[in-house]
Amino acid sequence: MAELTVNDRNFQTEVLDEKTKPVLIDFWAVWCYPCKIQGPIIDEVAREIGNRVKIAKIEVDESPTTASKLNILSIPTLAIFKSGQMVWQGVGVHQKQAIIDELKKHL
């Protein structure tokens, strides 16, 4: 399953209103070097379990309202939402298996 691009306009619909599966969000920015490391790892997660979860990326400079509302102060930040609520957040680069293990807790 391909990642979904989320922004200030569709965050409510694509993330908060999702009731059937957990949503993994990758908060990133073009200029962020660690984000460039995290991106391919998220791609691997999507290939491995993307059919069981929704995986989305949000560019914080293009969607400052959402990042601000969620108090995203550092990037990369990963967050898992379930039934409209953030149930986990992690700052920094995370390895594939750690992300998958965390997602499985919320399936």
- Ramachandran angles phi, psi of 30, nearest 5°: -60, -40
**What Å distances lie between residue 25 and 34, 74, CA to CA?**
16, 14
Catalytic residue among 35, 41, 56, 80: 35
* Set 32, 41, 56, 72: catalytic member: 32
Closest CA to 96 of 21, 22, 42: 42
Tell me whether residue 11 is one of the annotated catalytic residues.
Answer: no
Told to judge if 32 belongs to the known catalytic residues of this protein, a careful annotator would answer yes
Strands 4-6 and 54-59: parallel
Alpha helices in the chain, H assignment, sequence order: 11, 33-49, 64-69, 96-104
Q: Which residue has the tokens 């599966």?
A: 21
> Which are the catalytic amino acids?
32, 35
